[in-house]
Structure 1
Amino acid sequence: MSKKRYLEAETLKEFLRMGMKVGHIHTLRDVENYIDTQPEATPQEVAGQCWRNSKYDPPTEADADRLGRIIVWGAAVKHVDITYWENAIFYPVDVPFWMPLPVAPEEKAE
């Protein structure tokens, strides 16, 4: 059995659609070959933990945790912090980059 690989699904779908349009995909083996040529997603991409530009890709309430917080990069202080998602929208010069908080691990009762 082959090693697990993580791929960006939307990019792969578009790549497969293109292959079908130009006539390169006819069989399941063709699909497998196309998948094998795709680059592996980075662990950050898989986890959704990539820095996003506050000006061009601002956060929404859905990106925040249950308290409305996200991770931000403070431009003036040059460090990572946690703040409310609205701050990235209202102060994109001060908070130029953001990402969602990672999902907390589940605690198991013992």
Structure 2
Amino acid sequence: MPVTERRPSSSSPIDLVHLATQTCGDRALERNVLAMLARQIRLAETQLRLLPSRDRAILAHGLKGTARNVGAFALADAAARLEDGPSNELALTKLIDHMTATRKFASELC
């Protein structure tokens, strides 16, 4: 079962309750984590379409872990789908859509 189905805040790109738990409620740390996430996503957005399948899978794996740690569960699920099928153009497009939404949301909060 995808993680997003188990979360009450699945309509938001980032589960802010999860993020607050991960950062022990430290707002400054939350902003720093969100800024780092936005930077990582921006870099990955520019690279994903250019990488060969094997490297796409590696990048998707790293993005999946980061996303789960900060509570970006829909992004993590989309990254997992691309990791499982790095040549799947639909999975790539959906991942990039989630990346864009998550990056914008994170940027607005930090």
Normalised by the length of structure 2, the TM-score is 0.31
Which has the greater radius of gyration? 1
Query: Quick one: higher RCO (CA 8 Å, sep 6+), 1 or 2?
Result: 2
Q: Higher strand proportion, which one?
A: 1
Q: Higher helix proportion, which one?
A: 2
